[in-house]
Homo-oligomer: A and B are copies of this chain.
Amino acid sequence: MASHTNKKLQPEAAKHLREILVNNKVFAVALLLIVIMSFLSERFLTTTNVFNILRQICITGIVASGFSLIIAAGEIDLSVGSIVAFVGIVTSYLMVTVKMPMVIAILAGLLVGMLCGMLNAVIISALDLPPFIVTLATQSLFRGVVYIWTNMVSIIGLPQEFVNIGQGYLGVIPIPVIIMVATFLIVWFATVKTSFGRHVIAMGGNKEAAYLCGVRISRVRLGIYGMVGLCCAVAAIVLTGRTASAQVSAGNGMEMDCITAVVIGGTPFTGGKVNIVGTFIGAFIVGIINNGLNLLAVDSNFQIIAKGLMILIALIIDRLSTNFLNKKRRKE
């Protein structure tokens, strides 16, 4: 009898594993990339290099975690990069010029980031304007303020404890990696475990139906953009620490990196679904590609082609494996 149960269980487990793979096929793509890369370069699969990659995806990763919700809600935020630059400057200015204590400067930075995000939400909701245009406008708004404020000069001379946030280690683990993982956990929790997360998905899936179920679209939007603003602020602090300076050009073009990570990660561009773990793996895949191309010393112009091709191949593998797994499942 026991053996009978066992027999029944095994295909169940296999089926289960397949389910997990189907829902997180991007995971399989990442694994495949890792295998290929370790064959191409023996330097790839070393602890140092893995932490290297993780550290390099931190900034994009932290912003992309929140950005998943924007995409899931069927909206877009082009201003993330500018918010990152803005918060970097605010925090550094408060520390270096105003000589505020670090903790207060960081808190102020976080607040500013959140408010910037919320400003986007308020404009979109209050005037019922397309998020694309609103955030395009605030993108140049925030960036312009940074330029005028700093007169294009980066802020340097940050206190060492602050720099440590971007460069330090906790044991062997880089602090930015810890912050990124924490951010992903929090966003994941907010998305999967709370009513807020449910409302975000409902809003992206069918805004009208969500509204008729009592979901307050404008409040949810405020939450989403505020959260992304907060993520931007966290990223800004890590970035400022990592480069030991607040750069006026920080975060340029970041929105594209974020969308790439989110969409590779399996959150559809049309909204209604979200995969936070997928976003992490998406950012990781982009990180592997960048790192791999550098490790292999691919010519800089070929890198541009290779990056495009590899993203495409990753998605094609993803798609083909889905089809294959679906077919197998149907055969049973």
Pair A308/B269 contact, Cβ less than 8 Å:
no
Pair B140/A316 contact, Cβ less than 8 Å:
no
Given known contacts A136-B260, A136-B308, A137-B311, A127 and B316 CB-to-CB distance under 8 angstroms: yes
**A123 to B315 CA separation, bound complex (whole angstroms):** 11
Q: How many copies does the complex hold?
A: 2
What sequence of 0s and 1s flags, for each residue 93-130 of chain A, a beta carbon within 8 Å of any chain B beta carbon?
Answer: 00000000000000000000000000000010001111
Interface segment among A53-61, A144-152, A180-188: the answer is A144-152
A238: min CB distance to chain B, Å: 25
Interface segment among A34-42, A156-164, A227-235, A297-305: the answer is A297-305
The one of B145, B264, B312 in contact with A305, judged by C-beta atoms closer than 8 angstroms, is: B145
Pair A137/B302 contact, Cβ less than 8 Å:
no
Q: Does any Cβ of B come within 8 Å of A31's Cβ?
A: no
A177: min CB distance to chain B, Å: 26
Pair B269/A132 contact, Cβ less than 8 Å:
yes
Q: Does any Cβ of B come within 8 Å of A174's Cβ?
A: no
Q: Which residue of chain B lies nearest to A148 when distances are taken between CB atoms in the complex?
A: B301
Q: Does any Cβ of B come within 8 Å of A254's Cβ?
A: no
Q: Does any Cβ of B come within 8 Å of A307's Cβ?
A: yes
Q: Say whether chain A's binding surface is mostly helix, strand, loop, or mixed.
A: helix
**A76 to B268 CA separation, bound complex (whole angstroms):** 13
Pair A133/B319 contact, Cβ less than 8 Å:
no
The one of B139, B144, B259, B315 in contact with A302, judged by C-beta atoms closer than 8 angstroms, is: B144
With a CB–CB cut-off of 8 A, which chain B residues contact A260?
133, 136
A237: min CB distance to chain B, Å: 24
**A328 to B308 CA separation, bound complex (whole angstroms):** 51
A130: min CB distance to chain B, Å: 5
A156: min CB distance to chain B, Å: 20
Q: Does any Cβ of B come within 8 Å of A173's Cβ?
A: no
Q: Does any Cβ of B come within 8 Å of A143's Cβ?
A: yes
Pair A308/B140 contact, Cβ less than 8 Å:
yes
Q: Does any Cβ of B come within 8 Å of A275's Cβ?
A: no
Given known contacts A129-B319, A133-B263, A268-B130, A123 and B301 CB-to-CB distance under 8 angstroms: no
Pair B264/A133 contact, Cβ less than 8 Å:
yes
With a CB–CB cut-off of 8 A, which chain B residues contact A303?
144
A152: min CB distance to chain B, Å: 7
With a CB–CB cut-off of 8 A, which chain B residues contact A139?
308
The one of B134, B259, B269, B304 in contact with A312, judged by C-beta atoms closer than 8 angstroms, is: B134
A320: min CB distance to chain B, Å: 8
17 A-B pairs, CB-CB below 8 angstroms? A129-B315, A129-B319, A130-B269, A130-B315, A132-B259, A133-B312, A133-B315, A134-B315, A136-B256, A136-B308, A136-B311, A138-B308, A140-B308, A141-B312, A143-B304, A144-B302, A144-B306
